[in-house]
Amino acid sequence: MEIAIVSDTHIPSREQSIPDAFQERIAAADHVVHAGDFDSKGALADMRELAPELTAVAGNMDPQVGLPDVASVELGGVEFVVTHGTGSPRGYERRVETAVREHADSDAIGVAGHTHELLDTTHNGVRLLNPGSLTGAQPATRATMLTATAAEGDLSVTVHEQ
């Protein structure tokens, strides 16, 4: 299963659109995981049109888009717990790890955004992924996303930059 992992689009407050190459990757994915900060109902609607198979959460800029704060999804035998990671940079990895442990077992992968910085690390035994900002919205210095292949419980992740 091919998965696009994205976050922090911030359309229209900081950026106007998703880079074309990233739109193609999203449309080609079997499933898309978005870790919040769409920034508008229109940006969420556009993502749903681009990615009919979508698991998404609200970010701190999404108070009225009608998404949960945390969502879980199993894809290719891998469980993902998705949250935005809202709060101070201090304690970010701990907050995301805690969300994973509260919503799944320790084998689940935590996906979060908020910092606009790429991250693929393990914190207290929980793998955490942050795809950065899909549009390169400030404070990011470039547009980034992740793609992942999940099969029989194994996960391989690739970074894409614009």
Q: Structure pTM?
A: 0.96
- Euclidean distance between CA atoms 25 and 35, whole angstroms: 17
Going by C-beta distance under 8 Å and a sequence separation of 6 or more, which residues neighbour residue 56?
32, 33, 34, 35, 36, 38, 44, 47, 67, 71, 82
Spell out the domains of the chain, with CATH numbers in brackets.
2-161 (3.60.21.10)
**By the 8 A CB rule, do 145 and 5 touch?**
yes
Give the model confidence (pLDDT) of 37-54 as tens digits.
999 999 999 999 999 899
Give the model confidence (pLDDT) of 107-136 as tens digits.
899 999 999 999 999 999 999 999 999 999
Task: Give Cα 6 distance to the centre of its chain.
Answer: 4
Give me the amino acid identity at 47.
M
